[in-house]
Amino acid sequence: MSTITVYTARKIITMNPMQESATHVAVRDGRVLSVGTLADVQAWGAFTLDERFADKVLMPGLVEGHCHLKEGSMWDWTYLGWFDRRDPQGKVWAGLRSMDAVVGRLSEVAAQMAADGVPDDEPLIAWGFDPIYFGGERMTVAHVDCASTTRPIVIGHANGHLMNVNTPMLAIAEVTRDNEVEGVVKFAEGPMAGEPTGELQEPAAMYLVLRKIGTAGLLAPMTQAGVRAFARLACTQGVTTATDLVNKLGEADCAVLENVTADDDFAVRILPAFQAFHGPYGAPQGADHVKALMTRNSDRLRYGLVKMMLDGSIQGFSARLRWPGHFNGAPNGIWVTAPAQYETDFETYHRAGLIVHTHTNGDEASEVAINAIERVLTQAPRPDHRHTLQHGQMIDAPLFQRMAALGLCANLFANHLWYWGDQHYEMTMGPDRANRLDACGSALAAGVPLAIHSDAPVTPLGPLFTAWCAVNRITPKGRVLGENEKITVAQALSAVTLGAAWTLKLDHEIGSIECGKRADFCVLEDDPFTMDPATLKDARVWGTVLSGRVFPANPG
Ligand SMILES: [Zn+2]
């Protein structure tokens, strides 16, 4: 006989437009049985009243439609980012505000590794490096060799699309002036002209290094500890459903995911997306693989998403842009997947009935995706497909109109407005086009289903911060990018609940608090609708409820 628990709260924000708020919610078998007043919910029979949330605000568990589980394990390596950042244990790492500071931290870590007796051939791995903040100065082997000329050093950029290494790592990777792989950057002039600078752009070039450092690098296999750390972080941010938006889904990966999510104390529902590019399979085998995995789905683990990728990153100057290109004159970016290949593979996954999430940063990449998807849908219509463009940072109103006509969803990278908004204004897009960066207002005006995201670990996981970005569109230098692209608090909170759930085709299960859905709640100390929208990011999270199980952010 299943029991009913009734939670009372200061306010329940349901995100259900048919019943916007309530004071009580009844939960049975991990699902919402009833929402309303005490009188409404007690009509369902005997219950236990739980008053622990009596002074809190409940809203639907937050849904992060584009992040990566690596957010939990990046902290095994050295953080080099420009912004201060909190690790899963709560320690705040100071941001590094100059190239010298970056080299300084690398030198300290290299010295510590030597003092600890770590073998000289074990690489020093670092992440979060963001040279665009250093006035366009590019890092080369001349910088990284200052930290060590013996131990290989590998530095991942914040955008995940670029890497820098030192001379020992170039030697191990056998990258020389004769290497013709696209993305191996070489000195244009000076005494080193023609030699590799140590910068490697996009997967093909980065693979030259990653294949040599094997398990000890940025592509290290998932670990149970890393995934558990991610879940702790998710709980502190009110997140109950999260994607892992690129995963090879090999047997070892799946074993980790299935082991960890089998534990009732695991606090987040995971949707891993199959990496349908640069993998060992052709698209037909990839589609069969995903469909076979879907038979192993559980409440906390949902296979079925497919991730494709067209271009690179805007702030890394590797995105594909339409005319007039980069504001600072940098050449156009890189196709990670050739457009013709993309269309062929997309069609295969689409015909297999799977949901495809496509990375398109620049507007040329978004247009290529829309053109390809339009042709595929004309040949093979499929109602309610939920295919989604991810990032879509420079999509304009005409492209949003075409997306709406095709039933395409947008998951826009709203955190960029804060983290790189000034760089887009000054360097990549210019003062005019920067106004349409992550144009949430235009997307909603066109009727495109909208989600917004962090792409953690590219920026920190935190949907309320992401919502704050979309509402305020403010940059660290105080600029407002595109006043008319701002969305309301209600629209932004919808984007991180029902909107994201829609792009994952889970809106029938999660995203709002209403009868029949999973009892997934984000438990808040503050009411986001009564606070000043300029402070939305500061709304305090008490913890979460996932399918009826309560997870405090601070169990101690
Ligand atoms: Zn991503």
Q: pLDDT 10s per residue in the chain (556 long)?
A: 589 999 999 999 999 999 999 999 999 999 999 999 999 999 999 999 999 999 999 999 999 999 999 998 888 899 999 999 988 877 889 999 999 999 999 999 999 999 999 999 999 999 999 988 887 789 999 999 999 999 999 999 988 889 999 999 999 999 999 999 999 999 999 999 999 999 999 888 999 999 898 765 666 778 999 999 999 999 999 999 999 999 999 999 999 999 999 999 999 999 999 999 988 889 999 999 999 999 999 999 999 999 999 999 998 899 999 999 999 999 999 999 999 999 999 999 999 999 999 999 999 999 999 999 999 999 999 999 999 999 999 999 999 999 999 999 999 999 999 999 999 999 999 999 999 999 999 999 999 999 999 999 999 999 999 999 999 999 999 999 999 999 999 999 999 999 999 999 999 999 999 999 999 999 999 999 999 999 999 999 999 999 999 999 998 7
* d(CA 157, ligand 1 centre) in Å: 13
Distances in whole angstroms, Cα of residue 367 to Cα of each of 150, 373, 380: 46, 10, 20
Instruction: Please report the pLDDT score of residue 161 as a whole number.
Output: 84
Report the C-alpha gap between 226 and 221 in whole angstroms. 10
Q: What is the pLDDT of residue 219?
A: 65
Gap from CA of 112 to ligand 1 centroid (Å): 32
Task: Say what the pLDDT of residue 1 is.
Answer: 56
Is residue 298 within 8 A of residue 270, CB to CB? The reply is no
Respond yes or no on whether the N-terminal peptide bond of residue 457 is cis (omega within 30° of 0).
yes
| pLDDT score for 280 | 84
SS (H, E, C) 346-367: HHHHHHCCCEEEEEECCHHHHH
Q: How far is the CA of 18 from the centre of ligand 1 (A)?
A: 34
DSSP label at residue 385: -
Distance 456 CA to ligand 1 centre (A): 7
Q: 3-state DSSP call for residue 517? A: coil
- 201 contact partners, CB below 8 Å, separation of at least 6: 161, 162, 182, 183, 184, 185, 312, 316, 318, 334
Interval between CA 111 and ligand 1 midpoint (Å): 33
Beta carbons of 93 and 87 less than 8 angstroms apart = yes
Distance from Cα 379 to the centre of ligand 1, integer Å = 29
Q: Nearest to residue 143, comparing CAs of 99, 195, 110?
A: 99
pLDDT value of residue 355? 98
Task: Calculate how far, in angstroms, residue 44's C-alpha sits from the geometric centre of ligand 1.
Answer: 44
- Match 């709406």 to its residue by tokens: 404
Rounded Cα distance between 183 and 199, Å, is 8
pLDDT of residue 164: 97
Q: Which amino acid is at 318?
A: S
CA of 465 to the centre of ligand 1 (A): 17
- What six digits make up the tokens of 321? 């842009």
Ligand 1 center–CA 249 separation, angstroms: 16
Give the closest residue to 241 by CA, choosing from 262, 266, 273, 269.
269
Residue 218 confidence (pLDDT): 63
The whole-angstrom separation of Cα 294 and Cα 267 is 21
Q: How far is the centre of ligand 1, averaged over its atoms, from the C-alpha of 66 (Å)?
A: 6
If you measure from the C-alpha of residue 409 to the centroid of ligand 1, how many angstroms do you get, rounded to a whole number?
Answer: 16
Alpha helix stretches (DSSP H) within 380-439: 397-406, 416-419, 421-423, 430-433
Q: How far is it between the farthest Cα atoms of the chain?
A: 83
As a residue count, the chain comes to 556
Q: Which residues have their alpha-adjacent CB atom under 5 A from ion ligand 1?
A: 245, 455
455 CA to centre of ligand 1 in angstroms: 5
State in Å: Cα 464 to ligand 1 middle: 18
SS (H, E, C) 444-506: HHHCCCEEECCCCCCCCCCHHHHHHHHHHCECCCCCECCHHHCCCHHHHHHHHHHHHHHHCCC
Say how many Å lie between the CA of residue 453 and the centre of ligand 1.
Answer: 9
Q: How far apart are CA 248 and CA 280, in angstroms?
A: 9
pLDDT at 216: 59
Rounded Cα–Cα distance for residues 240 and 497 (Å) = 10
500 CA to middle of ligand 1, Å?
Answer: 15
Residue 209: both structure tokens together: 């290094």
Res 518: pLDDT: 98
Q: How far is the CA of 71 from the centre of ligand 1 (A)?
A: 11
- For ligand 1, the distance from its centroid to the CA atom of residue 196, given in whole angstroms, is 27
Distance 273 CA to ligand 1 centre (A): 10
Looking at residue 289, the DSSP 8-state letter turns out to be H
Helix (H, G, I), strand (E, B) or coil at 544: strand
Contact present, 1 and 45 (Cβ < 8 Å): no
| 393 Cα: distance to centroid of ligand 1 (angstroms) | 13
Q: 53 CA to middle of ligand 1, Å?
A: 34
Alpha-carbon Rg of the chain, whole angstroms? Answer: 23
Q: Calculate how far, in angstroms, residue 477's C-alpha sits from the geometric centre of ligand 1.
A: 26
Q: How far is the CA of 408 from the centre of ligand 1 (A)?
A: 18
Distance of CA 122 to the CA centre of its chain: 29
Ligand 1 centroid distance, CA of 452 (Å): 12
Q: Tell me, in angstroms, the distance from the centre of ligand 1 to residue 516's CA.
A: 31
Cα-based torsion angle of the residue sequence 439, 464, 517, 554 in order, rounded to the nearest 10 degrees: 160
- Ligand 1 midpoint to CA 4 (Å): 39
Q: Which residues pair with 480 in a beta bridge?
A: 474
Instruction: Tell me, in angstroms, the distance from the centre of ligand 1 to residue 27's CA.
Output: 34
